[in-house]
Copies of this chain bind each other. A is one copy, B any other.
Amino acid sequence: MTTDNGITFVNVVDVDPARQAELVALLQEGAERVIRHRPGFVSLTLLASADGSRVVNLARWRSADDVRATQADPAAAEYAARTAAIANARPGLYTVAAQYDA
């Protein structure tokens, strides 16, 4: 087991399965146009549930301050608002409690 002190922003987004593809496309656009260019960005993974009802957005950052500065960025806030218009988002800050690799 290894641990690190990296900060992860996790957004668990519930969505009508009929709109999951639209939601994924919107989150991809936000990642490509805004998030990946922000200071402190490390990586972002979009996970789409097989049942269509959820998308999980995982973004690693250098620090919690980098996340907060991104959330305050008007361009990022616009994508958050567009997400909220078509889905139910529950964003939050997380730390890695444990990591195991095969």
**Shortest Cβ distance from A81 into chain B, in angstroms?**
21
B95 in contact with A10 (CB, 8 Å): no
Identify the closest chain B residue to A23 (Cβ): B97
1/0 per residue A38-82: CB within 8 Å of B? Answer: 000111111111110011101000001000000000000000000
Contact B1 A51 (CB under 8 A): no
- Chain A at the B interface: SS class: strand
- Inter-chain CA distance A43–B45, complex, in Å, is 15
Interchain nearest-CB distance for A51 vs B (Å):
6
**Copies of this chain:** 2
Shortest C-beta distance, A55 to chain B (Å), equals: 7
Contact A92 B41, CB 8 Å, known A58-B58, A98-B31:
no
Least Cβ–Cβ distance between A29 and chain B, in angstroms: 10
List chain A positions with a Cβ less than 8 A from chain B: 1, 8, 10, 12, 24, 27-28, 31-32, 35-36, 41-51, 54-56, 58, 64, 92-102
